[in-house]
Amino acid sequence: MSSTRDLPAQSRSVPPDIPEPGNAVRDRDVLRTPPHNLEAEQAVLGTLMSSTGAAARYFAETLETGITAGEYYRPAHTTIHRAICDLHQNAEVVDPVTVAARLTECGELAKAGGAAYLHACVEAVPTVANGAHYSEIVRAKAYRRAAIESAQKVLQYAYSEEGDEDDVRSLVEQEFTAIVAGMPGLQAAPPVVDDLYLDFVAELEEIQDGRKVGLSYGISDLDAVTCGMRPGNVTVIAAASGVGKSTLALNAAVTAAKAGAQVMFSSLEMSSTELMQKIAAAEGRLPLHHLTQQGGLTSEDWKTVERLGRELFRTLPLRVYRPDSAALRDIESAARACVRADGLDLLVVDYLQLVEIEQARNITREQAVAAVSRGLKNLSVQLDCHVIALSQLNEDGMMRESRAIKNDASVVIKIERPDMNEPESPRAGEVDLVIEKNRFGPRATVSAAAQMHYSRFVNMAHT
């Protein structure tokens, strides 16, 4: 990918009076210039400015490699690339004359090396048919520079002796997860709304036509009110002990995984065996107590367990994480490992008040939980996944540390079961899912059937 075959020498076409970027780094008293290939950069720009008429497809092939303005080493090339993209987005002709006019309008022609340099880039192209190949060379060099930058950040932090070994590990993971995943993280100016409009309309059409919805919670009425579980957002499920918050979250996790989503369930309360028992009970309609008591399974029950192994567990993209400690950084580390392995669409944390952080001296419990809540919200955005965070309710029905938790949540669901304190209630076997906060719709109360012997909640009309 890094071949420079058939690329001309750069000496005859360097933009006048444009200094090299001042980002050479000193390593062991030797100045090292970051990896780059100016000939390839010129060839990419030349391809984009000369691929017209019958050769127009080479323009598209070059841009389809994903090359961006921020991946060029020479600032002048970054400026030229942006001008080319501006013209292309406005459906205007792209050639040295129109690019020069665009740069003149922006007052950047001299910064780009002048009109003569634009023609020099076109002349420097061996063949426009190889535009995509030249682009890959440029991107490969940019990737190496990003890797070097990440390594330098880690080295500087390690040499500074700030924090502890866990902080160093966390920084290493954050920096190198992006590199391993192929996302160098080169900074560019955020897009303006005009650049976002067409994507917004396309997504809006998908939503209106029902082609794009969030991951299902497994309760259709709940999905209808909340629009499902969306990436970059947090749902808090709150309930008193024993009401069923883990059951609802596990049902949602399995439903999402059955739909093909990559899911991680992090349990700080239940063992992996207990979680497997609950999944088997819900999916196989096996009474939970039959799975937990000696001799509880009949021969037919065993056949069901075996069938679940073949038809469900073998292919279900659901990972169960039972950390050795309850530290937030361990959950974050496991989540990033999932992203590197297969991706991650949904993360469940059971439950918030059990998660620990590196607490500063004199920090209050509310401040500690707020830090965990904020950490999970940030993680949902960084990993582009949905997070379900469970929260314990006090005896008076109030969520512990509620203000901090609600601030970070997009949806807050409080579980109430009428038969918990009134076994003879006419609504025995029902559960109310009280949506106390909903950024995607109204606040509402959704009723579902509580089949706790199967460890599951289902739609009221479910048979």
Q: Is the pLDDT of residue 2 over 60?
A: no
Q: Residue 4 falls within a domain, yes or no?
A: no
Q: Residue 421 falls within a domain, yes or no?
A: yes
pLDDT confidence of residue 341:
85
Rounded to an integer, what is the distance from CA 426 to the centroid of its chain?
44
Residue 47 sits in the same domain as residue 86: yes
Residue 264 sits in the same domain as residue 315: yes
Residue 28 sits in the same domain as residue 175: yes
Residue 170 sits in the same domain as residue 289: no
179-200: average pLDDT: 69
Rounded to an integer, what is the distance from CA 281 to the centroid of its chain?
31
Q: Is the pLDDT of residue 30 over 60?
A: no
Instruction: Kindly indicate the confidence band of residue 325, based on its pLDDT and cuts at 50, 70 and 90.
Output: confident
Q: Residue 84 falls within a domain, yes or no?
A: yes
Residue 297 sits in the same domain as residue 350: yes
Q: What percent of the chain has pLDDT over 70?
A: 87
Q: Is the pLDDT of residue 186 over 50?
A: no
Distances (CA, A) of 34 to 69, 73, 127, 140: 17, 9, 27, 12
Q: Convert the pLDDT of each residue in 75-93 to its tens digit.
A: 999 999 999 998 888 878 8
- Contact status, residue 264 vs residue 252, Cβ threshold 8 Å: no
DSSP reduced 3-state for 386: strand
Residue 268 sits in the same domain as residue 179: no
pLDDT confidence of residue 19:
47
pLDDT confidence of residue 255:
94
- What's the CATH code of the domain at 402? 3.40.50.300
Domain end position, chosen among 168, 187, 206 = 187
Q: Residue 193 falls within a domain, yes or no?
A: no
Residue 259 sits in the same domain as residue 324: yes
pLDDT confidence of residue 250:
94
Q: Residue 206 falls within a domain, yes or no?
A: no
Instruction: Kindly indicate the confidence band of residue 5, based on its pLDDT and cuts at 50, 70 and 90.
Output: very low
Q: Is the pLDDT of residue 40 over 90?
A: yes
Q: Residue 2 falls within a domain, yes or no?
A: no
Place of tokens 């909640």: 457
Which residue stretches of 239-391 are H helix?
Answer: 245-258, 272-284, 288-292, 299-308, 328-341, 365-382
Domain of 343, in residue numbers: 214-458
Q: Convert the pLDDT of each residue in 377-386 to its tens digit.
A: 988 988 889 9
Residue 243 sits in the same domain as residue 154: no
Q: Convert the pLDDT of each residue in 417-451 to its tens digit.
A: 888 778 777 888 889 999 999 998 899 999 999 99
Instruction: Kindly indicate the confidence band of residue 368, based on its pLDDT and cuts at 50, 70 and 90.
Output: confident
Residue 266 sits in the same domain as residue 375: yes
Distance separating alpha carbons of residues 444 and 356, to the nearest angstrom: 32
Residue 283, burial from CB neighbour count under 10 angstroms (0-12, 13-18, 19+): buried
The DSSP letter of residue 430 is: E
Distance separating alpha carbons of residues 50 and 450, to the nearest angstrom: 66
Q: Residue 408 falls within a domain, yes or no?
A: yes
Question: Which range among 200-209, 305-314, 390-399 shows the weakest confidence by mean pLDDT?
Answer: 390-399
- Contact status, residue 239 vs residue 247, Cβ threshold 8 Å: no
Number of domains observed in the structure of the chain = 2
Residue 372 sits in the same domain as residue 258: yes
Q: Residue 341 falls within a domain, yes or no?
A: yes
Rounded to an integer, what is the distance from CA 299 to the centroid of its chain?
44
Residue 320 sits in the same domain as residue 424: yes
Residue 226 sits in the same domain as residue 183: no
Instruction: Kindly indicate the confidence band of residue 11, based on its pLDDT and cuts at 50, 70 and 90.
Output: very low
Domain end position, chosen among 187, 202, 234 = 187
146-168: average pLDDT: 83
- What's the CATH code of the domain at 67? 1.10.860.10
Instruction: Kindly indicate the confidence band of residue 54, based on its pLDDT and cuts at 50, 70 and 90.
Output: low
Q: Convert the pLDDT of each residue in 255-313 to its tens digit.
A: 999 999 999 999 888 888 999 999 999 999 998 988 888 888 889 989 999 999 999 99
